[in-house]
Amino acid sequence: MPRLAANLTMMYAEYPFLDRFRAAASDGFTGVEFLFPYDFTAVDLKARLQDNGLTQALFNAPPGDWAAGERGIASLPGRESEFQRGMDQALEYAAQLGNRSVHVMAGLIRAGDDRAVHRDVYLKNLAFAARAAASAGITVVIEPINTRDIPGFFLNRQDDAQAVCAEVGASNLKVQFDCYHCQIVEGDIAVKLQRDMAGIGHIQIAGVPDRHEPDLGELNYPYLFDRIDALGYTGWIGCEYRPKAGTSAGLGWASSYLAKH
């Protein structure tokens, strides 16, 4: 049975952010994830987790200037020192919040940029991140993202992500398998899950094509959940979708997986 984590960046947007923890717990979630914790103190976030009996599953390392359109800096030449400082900050938060995974976003590549140069920077930064995280027992995850949602994103395919992890060669560097992004770029999700499961560190879900609830759209998630269970995955499955209407009203798809309080 899947262990579902509510993505508090996208879900429960009808509440102020710090109130979303209670809302998720009230609906039966036992885990949460979100994009970034850095607008709040780790002490405040930890209190919300503890008060509501929640486990922090995942958050992202600092992505550069998000408001200006940056979507990660791990593959950007000349930003290595900034990346390292950001990774240190992410690990400081993880030490307080208790999550065992941190997502590192690759960033954007422009037309005409030298992809080989970006890849070399990416590999070196990921090697640094994995080394820094290893002593804390943290897994670093990287995510292929479709270019419809984020045009120009450096990493788009599951096989490319697995190849990057293999080349870095760190046991605590794995792939974040987002079924939504994979379906848009590649499809054949069940086969790719079976092929790559040993290298998958986190899974996320959403309906395709509109990124609403998982029971809306072209993917058969009950089937995929059975396959994921059969493959031995016991980690969190992040619900990274935009509810079509109210978050709680749209959770019928998850009723058999959530323990209502």
Task: Look at residue 259 and tell me if it is in a domain.
Answer: no
pTM: 0.97
The number of beta carbons lying within 10 Å of the beta carbon of residue 32 is 32
**Whole-Å CA distances, 96 to 8, 44, 55, 91, 136:** 18, 10, 12, 9, 11
Task: Look at residue 260 and tell me if it is in a domain.
Answer: no
Task: Quote the DSSP letter at residue 35.
Answer: S
Q: Which domain holds residue 43?
A: 3-254
Task: Look at residue 67 and tell me if it is in a domain.
Answer: yes
Task: Look at residue 261 and tell me if it is in a domain.
Answer: no
**Structure-block tokens of residue 76:** 């950007």
Task: Look at residue 216 and tell me if it is in a domain.
Answer: yes
Task: Look at residue 215 and tell me if it is in a domain.
Answer: yes
**pLDDT tens sequence for the chain (261 residues):** 899 999 999 999 999 999 999 999 999 999 999 999 999 999 999 999 999 999 999 999 999 999 999 999 999 999 999 999 999 999 999 999 999 999 999 999 999 999 999 999 999 999 999 999 999 999 999 999 999 999 999 999 999 999 999 999 999 999 999 999 999 999 999 999 999 999 999 999 999 999 999 999 999 999 999 999 999 999 999 999 999 999 999 999 999 999 753
**Does residue 143 have an active-site annotation?**
yes
Number of domains in the chain: 1
CATH number of the CATH domain containing 58:
3.20.20.150
**Does residue 82 have an active-site annotation?**
no
Residue listed under structure tokens 């019928």: 252
Task: Look at residue 213 and tell me if it is in a domain.
Answer: yes
Task: Look at residue 136 and tell me if it is in a domain.
Answer: yes
Q: Which is catalytic among the residues 143, 167, 186, 218?
A: 143
